[in-house]
Amino acid sequence: MLHGSLLSGAVAMLLLSGAAWADTLADVAGRYAIAPSSAISFSVGQVGGGGISGKFPKFSGTIELDPGNIGRSRVTFTLAPGSVTTGEARVEKFLRSDAVFDAAAYPSITFRSIRVTQLDSSTAAIDGILAARGKSRQERFTATLVKYDGRNVTFHVVGDVLRSPYGMDVGTPIYSNVVKFDMIVQGRKF
Amino acid sequence: MWRNTDESYGWVTILFHWAIAILFLCQIPLGYLTQATENRPALQFELYQWHKSIGFLVLALAVPRLIWVLLTVKPRPLPKTTRLEAIAARTAHLVLLLLTVLVPLAGWAVASASPLRIPSYVFNLVVIPPLPFTPSERQEIFWSNVHAVLAYGGGMIALVHILAALRHHILLRDATLIRMLRPHRD
Ligand code: HEM
Ligand code: HEM
C-alpha cells in the first residue's frame, strides 16, 4: 500500500516535470521535410449532423523554424487533391471532378507561409497564401508542438478554410462551406 | 364549390389533381436527367436536390389527397360511359393515386439506403430524416430499381390517362376534362 502510493507519487512528479520541461518552439528550431507519416485530415459538416471526412495521402513540404526568431520561420506545403480518400469511391470521384478540385486541370494545392506568429511557448499561428483551383487567398492555420526527439518533430495543425473563395462551394448549404483541417504534421530534420 | 358533388368535382379535388399531376410529370424527365448527367457532376448534384425536394412536395400533397379521395364522393360517370370504361378509369385513377405516394416513398428509400448518406434538405428549408435503413450499395440499387420501375410505369399509365382525357374532350366532345378544370356552377 505504502509502496503503491510512493510509486504513484513519483510517477506524478515525473509527469509534472515532463510538462514543465516540454520543448518550446525555439528548442526545436531547424529545417524539416514534412514526412509521409503525417496525416492531412479534413472534414466538412452536413446539415442535420455528420458529414464527410477524409485524408490527402499525397503531399510534401518543408518547415523552417528560425532559431533566433520564430516570426521569421517559413512553411511550404503542397498536396495532391487527386489523392483524396474518404472511404467512399463515389464521393472521391465527385471531389476529384470539376465539381470540386478539378484535379485533372489543377493537380496541386499549395500553401506558402507569409507570417508566423508565436502564440505561446509551443503554439504558433501560420498565415499564408493558399492556392487552389487557380485562386489564391490568405488563410491561417494554428500549429501546436506535440513531440520532438532531436530529429523528428510532430505538430498538431488545425485551420478552417472556406470553400466558396476557391469556387468549390458545390453542395452548400447541405454541406458546410467550411472545411475543417485537423492535421498531424511530422517533420524530419535535414 | 370546394367539395365534390354527384355531378361535379370541387376545387379541393381539382387543385390536388393539377398540382400533383404537373409536379409528377416534371419529376420523370428530371429524374431521368439525374441519370443522364453523370459527366457533369456539379449539375447532377443540383438536379438531384431539385428532384428530391419536388418529390417530397409530391408526397406531402399526395398523402392528404389520397385521404381526401377516400373520404369524398365522386361525381357519377357521364352518360354513355360503358361499364368497362368506368372500371378502366377507376382502376387507372386508383393506381395513379397510389403511385403518387409510392414513387416518392421509393425515392426516399433510395436516399435512405444509399451509403452516401446525402441529407434530404427539402428546398434548403427542412431536413427530412432518412428512413430507418442500414445503408448498403445492394439496398440502394434495389430501391433505385423499384423507384425507376414505379416511376416509368406511372408515367406510362399517366400517358394513357392523358390520352383518354383528350379522347373524351376532342373526339367524344363530352365534359370529362371540363369537369376536372372547374366545378360545375349550379
Ligand atoms: C413524384 C415523385 C417522383 C418521381 C415521379 C420520380 C421519378 C424518377 C425517375 C423517372 C428517375 C430516373 C430513374 C432512372 O432512370 O434510373 C428517378 C431517379 C431518382 N429519384 Fe426520383 N422520383 C420522384 C420522387 C423522388 C424522391 C422523393 C426522391 C428522394 C427523396 C427521389 C430520389 C431519386 C433518386 C435518388 C434517383 C436516382 C436513382 C434511381 O435511378 O432510382 N425521387 N426518379
Ligand atoms: C395533362 C395531364 C392530365 C389530364 C388532362 C388529366 C385529366 C383528368 C381528368 C379529366 C380526370 C377526371 C376523370 C373522371 O372524371 O373520370 C382526371 C382524374 C384523375 N387524374 Fe388526371 N389528368 C392528367 C394528369 C394526371 C397525372 C399525371 C396523374 C397522376 C400522376 C393523374 C391522376 C389522376 C387521378 C388520380 C384522378 C382521379 C382524381 C380523383 O378522383 O380525385 N392525372 N384526370
Q: Which residues contact B178 (CB under 8 A, 6 or more apart)?
A: B169
Non-local CB neighbours of B12 within 8 Å, separated by 6+ positions? B2, B3, B4, B68, B72
Pairing of strands A74-79, A109-120: antiparallel
pTM of the model: 0.92
**Mean of the per-residue pLDDT values of chain A:** 91
- B181: phi > 0 → left, psi -120 to 50 → alpha, else beta; which? alpha
The DSSP call for residue B83 is H
Residue with the bigger pLDDT between A2 and B171: it is B171
Q: How many CB pairs under 8 A join A and B?
A: 34
Place of cell 465527385: A94
pLDDT at position B69 over 80: yes
How does the average pLDDT of chain B come out, rounded?
Answer: 96
Q: Report pLDDT for B77.
A: 87
Residue type, A28: V
Peptide bond into A173 cis (omega under 30): yes
Going from the N-terminus, what domains does chain A have, and what CATH number goes with each? 2-189 (2.40.128.110)
Task: Indicate the length of chain A as a whole number.
Answer: 190
Whether residues B119 and A48 touch (CB distance < 8 A) is answered with yes
DSSP H helical ranges for chain B:
11-36, 41-71, 83-113, 137-166, 176-179
Q: Cβ–Cβ of B42/A98 closer than 8 Å?
A: yes
pLDDT classification of A68: cutoffs 50, 70, 90 = confident
Nearest CA in chain A to B48: A171
Q: Do B121 and A48 touch (CB under 8 A)?
A: yes
- B34, B49, B66, B112, best to mutate for ligand 1 pocket (most atoms within 8 Å of CB): B34
Cell 444509399 locates to B114
- pLDDT tens by residue, B11-35: 999 999 999 999 999 999 999 999 9
Print burial letters for B19-45: b (CB count within 10 Å at least 16), e (below 16). Answer: ebbebbeebbebbbebeebeeebbebb
Nearest residue CA, atom 28 of ligand 1? B107
The answer to whether residue A4 scores a pLDDT higher than 70 is no
Using pLDDT thresholds of 50, 70 and 90, give the confidence band for residue B74. very high
Contact assignment for A50 to B45 by CB distance below 8 Å = no
Ligand 2 neighbourhood includes B148 CB (under 6 angstroms):
no
Contact A174 B115 (CB under 8 A): no
Tell me how far CA of residue A6 lies from CA of A2, A11, A12, A79, A84, in angstroms: 6, 9, 10, 50, 51
Q: Which residues of B touch A52 (CB under 8 A)?
A: none
Pick the residue of A44, A96, A97 with the most B CBs within 10 A to test the interface with B by mutation. A97
What is the Cα–Cα distance from B183 to A6, expressed in whole angstroms?
A: 93
pLDDT for position A5 = 53
**Residue-level pLDDT at A12:** 47
How far apart CA A50 and CA B119 sit, in angstroms, is 10
Nearest to B160 by CA among B77, B87, B89: B89
Identify which of B41, B49, B127 has the shortest CB distance to residue A48. B127
Task: Inform me whether the pLDDT recorded for A17 exceeds 80.
Answer: no
**Taking each helix axis from N to C terminus, what angle separates A89-96 and B41-71, rounded to the nearest 10 degrees?**
130
C-alpha cell belonging to residue A121: 511557448
Instruction: Search chain A and give the residue with CA nearest B117.
Output: A51
> Per the structure block, which three cell numbers stand in for B143?
430501391
Q: What is the C-alpha to C-alpha distance for residues B109 and B130, in angstroms, rounded to an integer?
A: 8
Would you state the pLDDT for residue A18?
Answer: 40
What value does the mean pLDDT take over residues B130-153? 97
- Out of B80, B161, B172, B173, mutate this one to test ligand 2's pocket (max ligand atoms within 8 Å of CB): namely B161
pLDDT at B111: 98
User: Quick check: helix, strand or coil at residue A122?
Assistant: coil
**Gap from B54 CA to chain A (nearest CA, Å):** 16
Nearest of B169, B167, B104 to residue B131 by alpha carbon: B104
| Alpha carbon distance B43, A52 (integer Å) | 20
Cell of B103: 414513387
Containing H/E element for A41? strand A39-46
- In terms of Cα–Cα distance, which of A89, A87, A78 is closest to A53? A87
